[in-house]
Amino acid sequence: MGADHDHGGDHHHPGLAEDLSLGEPARRLMAMEELLVEKGVIGADEVRRVMDVIAARSPVDGARVVARAWMDPAFKLRLLEDPRAALAELGYPVVSGSKLAVVENTENLHHLVVCTLCSCYPTSLLGPPPDWYKSFAYRSRAVVDPRGVMREFGLEVGEAVEVRVVDSAADLRYMVLPRRPEGTEGMAEEDLVALVTRDSLVGVGAPNQPAVNS
């Protein structure tokens, strides 16, 4: 099945993970949560419940959405125009208050997702973000040298292809709709799911290639 990348395991990339400390916005958020629990505005059980919902999600959920979009052009159009409604069709409600935008990679355009302030990520669909996504090195370098960062992940994007970096924020999260690999015509939807990697859902990687029968 091409390169050996699973949907969830962390990868280690030189220069991307040397700083995993929480940023100021994350520390501020934790302090606000503790204060709200202390004042009785929200309950600790409620916080844990939401966290459990997020933890139950994984990149496989995003992969199922991508595979459906590859198989169904009408669904793909709805996903790009109104992600929340399209996801609801598949039983994936966006539980956070933020909006979700789905951006499509094409032959001439490649998207790379980053959160330059902290670690904003579509957790209600993809699960918790990987450590490298939260690192200062990735957050700073993805903006100034996106091709170099993708190269460290093993992805080479041609110079003729426009690379567009999209910055996630608290009120707007991004997911990439990667290009469908060649040679997958006629494959079942579940087999397509297995080709979609977590890295491809944020643009630092590409889907796996289908296995070649000898």
Per-residue pLDDT of the chain (214 residues; tens, 9 = 90+): 344 445 555 555 544 554 556 667 667 767 877 887 787 877 767 666 656 665 667 899 999 999 999 999 999 999 999 999 999 999 887 655 679 999 999 999 999 999 999 899 998 899 889 999 999 999 999 999 999 999 999 999 999 999 999 999 989 999 999 999 999 999 999 999 999 999 999 999 999 999 876 4
Residues 77, 105 share a domain: yes
Query: Global pTM?
Result: 0.76
Contact 142, 202 (CB under 8 A): no
Residues 80, 37 share a domain: no
Q: Which helix (H) or strand (E) holds 34?
A: helix 24-38
Point out the catalytic residue in the list 96, 120, 168, 200: 120
Q: Which domain range does residue 41 map to?
A: 22-54
Contact 202, 134 (CB under 8 A): no
Residues 119, 46 share a domain: no
Residues 85, 27 share a domain: no
- 207 lies in some domain: no
Point out the catalytic residue in the list 96, 119, 135, 168: 119
Residues 37, 74 share a domain: no
Q: Is 98 a catalytic residue?
A: no
Residues 186, 96 share a domain: yes
Residues 125, 112 share a domain: yes
The whole-angstrom separation of Cα 178 and Cα 199 is 10
Q: Could you give the dihedral angle defined by the CA atoms of residues 89, 190, 193 and 86, in that order, rounded to the nearest 10 degrees?
A: -10
In the structure encoding, which two tokens stand for residue 70, read together? 């590859």
Point out the catalytic residue in the list 96, 115, 124, 135: 115
Q: Is 118 a catalytic residue?
A: yes
Residues 78, 90 share a domain: yes
Domain count, the chain: 2
- 195 lies in some domain: yes
- 144 lies in some domain: yes
Point out the catalytic residue in the list 21, 58, 98, 118: 118
